[in-house]
Structure 1
Amino acid sequence: MSYSTRPSEAGTAETEQPSSTDQVAPEPRAPGDAGTTASGGPAAAARPQRRRDPFFDNAKYFAILLVVAGHCLANLLNVPMAKGLYIFIYMFHMPLFIVVTGYFSRNWTFAGGKARKLITNVGVPYVVFEIAYSLYDWLAGRNDLEISMLNPYYLTWFLCALFMWRLSTPVWQQIRWPLAVALVFALLSYMSDLGGTFDIHRVIGLLPFYVLGLTLKPHHFELLKRPAARPIGAAVLAAGLGGTYLVMNHMSREWIYWRTPNFGLDVGNFTGTMMRLAMFACACVFVAAFLTLIPRGHHWFSRLGAYTLYAYLLHGFVIRLLDFTGWWGADWMHTPPGVVIVVGCAVVVGTLLCTPPVVRTMRWALEPKMTWVFTPLRRPARSR
């Protein structure tokens, strides 16, 4: 088996989004939102735009808080309270981002400049942060300097995966049963060792969540917005959290990372397939339950949800810094009150990293304007 020697989720954990979906998804933007229109031209900017649905921005905001909290909890797993919460969060936090990403990718094509946005808003940040995290680790004296675009470092795996998923979108749009095909493809991928290039096991293993998002329609989310769904969702999440505490000492945490083939988990293909089907089903249920609790209206945090990619890619520097300086070894953190304080701090950090000052400062890396790289867009010929 060839796996990366770079930091894994088991130590300081992985991330998921999507929130790069905020920058690259074809969801129409309200006036003043960052980024450009699909075609990027003045005529496109003049076209009337639909308002963003605050429900999805709210969902992405709360989801990124789960991501940051989960990565902090990864350093406190000797505390049962933290371990159970960590596994529960990891069961659905990335599937949530990926489903939403797929939903807003339903109309993605190679036309109209969308492929260019994929390069600038996903491909370029992948290169920038792959280099940045590698240098950060090296300067801290943790590892030899290693920069490899084929071996995603720490959080960058999600950008790599998103790039591949987006490229595959036109394929899934042509298949009669896309979710079933994607699920079979993912299950088969775990029956052999595909190596560590591009973190390919995780890219293919989480693909069904992206395809699920592609198949969803607005009325599916309307069902989750109903007031009657909220108590049901809360009960499901509570039961899921309780169940996690019951099984957390009887399962390998590698299952929740979606990156290891069956034989790497010491199980046969039948057992591995059944386990992953169960995890896929649980993740979908938890994602739906989580969405029932999301506020539907516009709130102070709604606009922050449009910039969760910033929090996703930047919070890793904070967590790694605490690791480099030995702060995660502080005794007070490894207690139930310490876990509560750490989660509270994670919420604050995750929120701050989505704010306008951070966005303005880091936009050059996450939403670069690289028109000089591309040839002029060809306008479709008008029929006479």
Structure 2
Amino acid sequence: MPFWDNARFLCVTLVVVGHGIQRLTADSDNALIVYLFIYAFHMPAFAIISGYFSRPGSPNARQMTRVITDIIVPYVIMESIWTLVQFLVEGKREFNPTQPSWTLWFLLALGIFRLVLPYLALLKYPLLIAVILSVGVGYLGNVDSTFSLSRAIGILPFFVLGWKLNEWGVVDRWRRVANGWWMRVLAVAVLGAWLAVVGGNINLWRAIDLRFWFFYDDSYSGLGEGEWWAGAVRLALIALAVLLTGAVFALIPRRETWITAFGTSTMYVYLLHSFILYPLRETGILKDEHTSAVWLLSVVFACVAISIALSAPIVRRVFRPIIEPKPRWLFADQTAFRTPPEGPPRETRTGPTARREP
């Protein structure tokens, strides 16, 4: 299913671009326009893809083992590396795994999603409940970024939506409808309209710090909007993210392209790109005089190149021990590491993208 691999690589590239231009947004309206355009949907799209390839049934030993090997162990390894890097660069002497460094919050969010999905699946209206939780958590100032809890609850509706899209078979029917040229024109119009809204009101968005609303990690009072209607803003942003994600998905190629193979390396790109961008962000070269449109385009193209480079097979071979560790010595039951026998074909084919979340 090359469509999903293409979608995953596009989303992770947008993540890299967003992180690359973040320091430019303080001094450049053009950079802030691109930043807000991307952040309105790129992590929700990731969560939708992750949910699409998730199963809500009671976890077996193999699935529980993968939560440890795919999420917890890589998180501890990467957090330890980040602690060392920050000590060497900034002199920080604190190792606090309860507060994830930079991009690592999504690993913990995936772990939370996997844990709660079987329980949500028991409920009659899981998607509605996920939306209520996302909107409601913003009113609770004591739910913060510890273990990424506030952010995980904030984007939970997108993960649940992805799972329900698979369960309802919506994507297969939608792909048949979306093949028409009119659907692509409509998708371009939707994205163009959002770009026009962002660009035409950039001073307003800067004044109210709209970008922080797209993080889903702070309470409404922490965002400066403690009024009762603040939840309606998050609800509107959730709807906007779904609309924009659908428009982007309508434009993604369904056939194999030159980027399809890169879609299986999204976790490597996601976890490793921050080590490349970190020195650039800390040296201050992405500020002040380096905020022209030419410099912005240069940073965007450089981020695309980083995504492609980190998708190379050699990167996977070198960094597999820390990104996809197999700590067999941790487990009493070694059968969880064995490849399960092939059974009859499933009704819904998940393809190679089911192996890893983005």
Which TM-score applies when normalising by structure 1?
0.81
SS of aligned partner of 2:326: coil
Q: Which residue of 1 aligns with 2:354?
A: none
SS of aligned partner of 1:295: coil
Higher relative contact order (CA 8 A, sep 6+): 2
Say which structure is richer in helix: 2
Q: Is the 8 A contact 1:73 1:86 kept in 2?
A: yes
Aligned equivalent of 1:338, options 266, 287, 295: 295
Are 1:230 and 2:188 counterparts? no
Change over 3 Å in CA distance of 1:269–1:176 after alignment to 2: farther
Query: Aligned runs of 1:108-257 on 2, under 5 Å?
Result: 109-111=58-60, 113-140=62-89, 142-193=90-141, 194-217=143-166, 218-224=169-175, 225-227=178-180, 228-250=182-204, 251-252=208-209, 253-257=211-215
Deviation at 1:376, TM superposition (A): 3.3
Q: Is the 8 A contact 2:56 2:121 kept in 1?
A: no
Q: Which residue of 1 aligns with 2:268?
A: 310
Deviation at 1:270, TM superposition (A): 2.6
Aligned equivalent of 1:92, options 41, 45, 50: 41
Deviation at 1:162, TM superposition (A): 0.6
Amino acid of the residue matched to residue 307 of structure 2? G
Give the distance between the partners of 1:129 and 1:202, measured in 2 at CA: 19
Q: Which residue of 2 aligns with 1:27?
A: none
Q: Is the 8 A contact 1:108 1:114 kept in 2?
A: no
Report the number of matched residues. Answer: 326
Deviation at 1:316, TM superposition (A): 0.3
Are 1:260 and 2:218 counterparts? yes
- Please give the per-residue CA displacement for 1:158-181, whole angstroms capped at 9, x wherever unaligned: 001111111111112111100101
Deviation at 1:305, TM superposition (A): 0.4
- Please give the per-residue CA displacement for 1:110-138, whole angstroms capped at 9, x wherever unaligned: 11501111211111111111111121111
Change over 3 Å in CA distance of 1:108–1:88 after alignment to 2: farther
Deviation at 1:272, TM superposition (A): 1.1
- Please give the per-residue CA displacement for 1:143-191, whole angstroms capped at 9, x wherever unaligned: 4221112111111110011111111111121111001011111111111
Q: Which residue of 1 aligns with 2:240?
A: 282
State the identity as a percent: 33
Change over 3 Å in CA distance of 1:211–1:341 after alignment to 2: same
Aligned equivalent of 1:272, options 212, 220, 230: 230
Residue segments in structure 2 that go unaligned for 5+ positions in a row: 341-358
Residue segments in structure 1 that go unaligned for 5+ positions in a row: 1-52
Give the distance between the partners of 2:28 and 2:153, measured in 1 at CA: 32
Q: Is the 8 A contact 2:16 2:303 kept in 1?
A: yes
Deviation at 1:315, TM superposition (A): 0.5
Give the distance between the partners of 1:73 and 1:344, measured in 2 at CA: 11
- Please give the per-residue CA displacement for 1:69-98, whole angstroms capped at 9, x wherever unaligned: 111110111111111110110010000000
Which TM-score applies when normalising by structure 2?
0.87
Q: Is the 8 A contact 2:37 2:198 kept in 1?
A: yes
Q: Is the 8 A contact 1:157 1:199 kept in 2?
A: yes
- Please give the per-residue CA displacement for 1:187-223, whole angstroms capped at 9, x wherever unaligned: 1111111133113211111111111111113433541
SS of aligned partner of 1:266: coil
Q: Is the 8 A contact 1:223 1:229 kept in 2?
A: no
Give the distance between the partners of 2:84 and 2:283, measured in 1 at CA: 16
